Amino acid sequence: MRIIGGIFKGRRFNPPADNWPTRPTTDFAKEGLFNILNNHVDFQELKVLDLFGGTGSHSYEFISRGATDVTYVDKHGPAVEFVKKTAGQLGMESRIRIVRGDVFRFMSYCAETYDYIFAGPPYGLPTLDTIPDLIFKHGLLRPEGWFVLEHNPSHRFETHPHFFQQRNYGKTIFSFFAHQEAIRTFLEEEE
């Protein structure tokens, strides 16, 4: 696995993930996602939340591109320890807050709001379809923010009131959600 952009571009990290319950986003899909984000966000201004953070791939990518306030959440102890170790090796400890805990509990008690939220849950998670509703119910996304959910073709969100686009990279799908005003802004920019 590698960081695909920013000051750490090309740096590789190799999680000992043989028995981990994680599914890292492919470099191909991650590159596609960040190409979209490059055109719409200022990474240095973002407050980022990385849910089901796994190997930390998305967190490292945001920090590499200039984000200074990233919160990583995952409940798998070895993954959390790997992210702590990797953040230390890359010298990015001051830019990342690492939370070991259940994502759903974290969402219910988190009092902060974020400019960008990414969730990469296990595709077979029985409650995967509830995640967009919970993001908005708990008020985690700032008014102009974006929430991106990674999932497979077994899940569809086009009818969700906050959904505004979907991008497919093989069997990896990113669904994008936002508040209505942010969706209007995005659509105007795309015209």
DSSP assignment of 112-164 equals --EEEEEE---TT-TTGGGHHHHHHHTT-EEEEEEEEEEE-TT---TTSTTEE
Q: Does the residue 94 lie in any domain?
A: yes
Q: Does the residue 67 lie in any domain?
A: yes
pLDDT in the model for residue 25: 72
First-last CA distance in the chain:
35
Q: Does the residue 169 lie in any domain?
A: no
The CATH number given to whatever domain includes residue 57 is 3.40.50.150
Q: Do residues 63 and 92 touch, judged by C-beta distance below 8 A? A: yes
How many domains, the chain? Answer: 1
Residue 184 pairs in a beta bridge with none
Q: Does the residue 106 lie in any domain?
A: yes
For 136, the token pair is: 């908005």
Q: Domain residues for 143?
A: 42-123+137-153
pTM over 0.85: yes
The tens place of each residue's pLDDT in the chain, 191 residues long, gives 788 888 888 888 877 655 655 556 777 888 999 999 998 899 999 999 999 999 999 999 999 999 999 999 999 999 999 999 999 999 999 999 999 999 999 999 999 999 999 999 988 889 999 999 999 999 999 999 999 999 999 899 999 999 999 999 988 999 999 999 888 888 887 77
pLDDT in the model for residue 24: 66
pLDDT in the model for residue 20: 57
